[in-house]
A = this chain, B = another copy of it.
Amino acid sequence: MTASAFDDRQLRSDGSLRHLLSLEGLPRAALERLLDAAQALRPAALGGTALRRRLAGRSVCNLFFEASTRTRSAFHFAATRLGADVLSFDVSTSSAGKGETPVDTLRTLEAMGVDCFVVRAREDGAVAALAAAAKPQTALINAGDGRHQHPTQGLLDMLTLRQAKGDDFSRLTALIIGDVRHSRVARSDIAALRTLGCRDIRICGPASLLPDALELQGCTVGHDFDAMLDGVDALMMLRLQRERMVEGLVPSLEQYFVDYGLDEHRLARARPDAVVLHPGPMNRGVEIADTVADGSQSLILAQVSNGVAVRMAVMLELLER
């Protein structure tokens, strides 16, 4: 899963997107083009009929092998407001499978005229594997695969940071806090931050929740949240899966909040204009305090709104040719 291996899976020879599978290996030009497009779509993204002809007559299928309401809803609204027909189903709860292989499910829906699949999968690389089986004109969007990537989340995070802090990521200090090891959001964020030229990426979490050092090359890694806050522009919180406690990776939710929860005291140690991001759904009182989540430095709802525009931009680049 090196960058170059992914490049030709998701990019055409002219540099345009064929699928969106990963932000790792996505060239800066493509990434910035998507952010620019999303920014331009932003005023019309949340309603209205201005964009309804863009994908009229095209079909988008939300194919979720792992349940998700939030991401699926964002893709649903994005596709619908572009005029596409949307069919959503959870393979996890539906009879889609009945022992059928995921590739057969994909090809069946493709044969019904689906132009674009938004796929969430449990296994790393599963969306790329499906993309490899798709017809040339079919586009796949990775809506999260295992611990690997969640590229539209990474894009919306970058768009949110850019709106708050400007285009020049080389001047940004970003701190990612929490369960980085299991987080596809963190992997997409780190890849995008690197690509956009961010030079001060800090990663903080308990040793049990951090990935191999190899993955974090060039980042500053630490376990002491308070010690890493100085000069930080952006605090990027991660959701703590409650099962991490059962697995023994975290002693207790209470202790986790003491060590890695973001409250107003910690936030005060970052830059005065630091912003706070969280991919949701939030565990209030576990990784983030109410005062911060609902405070003036929180961009959490801006992320959600940007998420619709980003998904529109991605679908337009994939389908509007």
Contacts and interface: CB of A to CB of B under 8 A. Distances in A.
Interface residues of A, number: 55
A280 B100 contact: yes
A39 interface: no
Contacts of A307: 112
Contacts of A93: 93
B98 A305 contact: no
A104 B281 contact: yes
Interface in A19-51: 45-49
16 contacts: A47-B113, A68-B95, A69-B96, A73-B89, A73-B109, A77-B87, A98-B281, A99-B242, A99-B281, A99-B283, A108-B280, A111-B302, A111-B305, A112-B305, A112-B308, A113-B305
Interface in A107-153: 107-113, 115
Counting chain B CB atoms within 10 Å of each CB, the highest count among A70, A108, A283 belongs to A108
Copies in the complex: 3
A184 interface: no
A80 interface: yes
Nearest to A89: B69
A174 B108 CA distance: 24
A85 B84 CA distance: 12
